[in-house]
Amino acid sequence: MSVPEDLDLHLDQYDYALPPSQIAQRPTAHRGDSRLLVLDRCTGAVSHRRFGDIVDLLAPGDCLVVNESRVLAARLLGALDTGGRVEVLLLRPSAEDSAVWECLARPASKGRPGRRVRFGAAPWIEVEFLGDLEEPGAKRVRVEASIPLEEALQAVGHVPLPPYIQRPDDEEDKDRYQTVYASVPGSVAAPTAGLHFTEEILERLTTRGVTLAKVLLEVGIGTFRPISTERIDEHRMHSERYRVDGAAAAAINAARGAGGRVVAVGTTSVRVLESVASADGSIAAAEGETDLFIRPGYQFRAIDALLTNFHLPRSSLLVMVSALAGRRRVLAAYREAVAEGYRFFSYGDAMLIHSDRRSTGASEARASGERSPSAG
């Protein structure tokens, strides 16, 4: 029986079995103590390490690219005058009016236009619902606060943990659901591959001769949107804001020019770099929005390796890593990770997808795809 040429475009080919007990509900006791599965994207070979070994797996001259976005405590829980409960997750402010935000409301029926809900007492945040957006449950709201909004969110808001972490957020999450280099507020989900790094590991990498470049992508509503189409090439991503400054572009280009590898930390860093890369892989300073969806068939230009976490079945993120290393190799590695008891998803263990030799375009992994960023 022949195999269809477009087999990798069917969503059901990106599924795997995962025992619920392996979905990490909390971070490791100490940052940096996670396990690290290493996948050679050219051969499919797998090895099992500790995260601290990343220092030995990267070489002098490599450039590690991280997303410096900081997670907002943007989840608001409150009560209506009628006694019902309402939850609002602030997503991002309007480019035209910083007081007007996109949000997700639950239950959506409680967010009728004109309704006002106050969260907290001193300080407080008040949300006025203005209207519906296209996404189910998405609303446009006007936000006021008794003190600067970011400070009010720190006092009143909750850490927006993903739904598969089935517990309330607590004080530990305020620290551990942020990377140690997070500095620019704006995301509603953490760039979780970076959660494993400690200041000490970063210092060891610098001493080894690995350079660090910081880019920005504000993780938004797309994180909460599953692939709902049978064919993945029919899926459309939400746009997210990004920025690459001149210093980051220079560091990345210098590493590439000297023969070093560009190692993206997390899928968010990949989306930024691939959105701004030129045909030869060079990076220019830019900012704008991208709805780039990387899927099998995509020709990688900017990155040579990826440090990432384990991703949900049937997700756009699993599709992306499959584009880099090949679907069969990735799913085989995932099955081995399950058998070896790895912890999965945001607070789970890490995975390094690389090759000992530098390659541009990930041609060994048969990668290619579509790109539609809008850079300013």
Report CA torsion sign: 195, 198, 199, 204: negative
More confident residue, 223 or 249: 249
Alpha carbons 111 and 105: distance in angstroms, whole number: 7
More confident residue, 358 or 302: 302
The mean pLDDT value for 20-45 works out to 97
35 and 80 belong to one structural domain: no
59 and 92 belong to one structural domain: no
Q: Is the pLDDT of residue 3 over 70?
A: no
- Per DSSP, 81 falls in state T
pLDDT at 66: 98
Please count the structural domains in the chain: 2
106 and 226 belong to one structural domain: no
pLDDT at 6: 56
- Domain's final residue, options 131, 158, 185: 158
pLDDT at 83: 81
Please, which pLDDT band fits residue 126 given cuts at 50, 70 and 90?
very high
pLDDT at 373: 36
In DSSP notation, 141-175 reads EEEEESS-HHHHHHHH-B----TTS-S---HHHHH
Asked if residue 290 is part of any domain, the answer here is yes
Asked if residue 183 is part of any domain, the answer here is yes
Q: Is the pLDDT of residue 56 over 60?
A: yes
292 and 243 belong to one structural domain: yes
**CATH code, 354:** 3.40.1780.10
Asked if residue 1 is part of any domain, the answer here is no
pTM for this predicted structure: 0.92
236 and 297 belong to one structural domain: yes
3-state class (DSSP) for residue 214: strand
Please, which pLDDT band fits residue 220 given cuts at 50, 70 and 90?
confident
The least confident of 53-62, 230-239, 335-344 is 230-239
67 and 94 belong to one structural domain: no
3-state class (DSSP) for residue 275: helix
22 and 143 belong to one structural domain: no
pLDDT at 362: 37
224-257 pLDDT, tens digit per residue, is: 578 989 999 999 998 999 999 999 999 999 999 9
Q: How many CB atoms lie within 10 A of CB 284?
A: 12
Alpha carbons 44 and 35: distance in angstroms, whole number: 19
40 and 98 belong to one structural domain: no
Q: Is the pLDDT of residue 323 over 50?
A: yes
Give percent of the chain above pLDDT 90: 85
**CATH code, 85:** 2.40.10.240
3-state class (DSSP) for residue 86: strand
69-100 pLDDT, tens digit per residue, is: 999 999 999 988 888 899 999 999 998 999 99
Edge-first strand order for the sheet with 85-93 is 75-79, 85-93, 100-106, 138-145, 125-132, 116-119
The mean pLDDT value for 338-344 works out to 98
Q: Is the pLDDT of residue 7 over 70?
A: no
23 and 153 belong to one structural domain: no
Domain extent, residue 194, equals: 7-71+176-375
Q: Is the pLDDT of residue 130 over 50?
A: yes
pLDDT at 261: 97
Asked if residue 348 is part of any domain, the answer here is yes
Q: Is the pLDDT of residue 376 over 50?
A: no
Give percent of the chain above pLDDT 70: 92
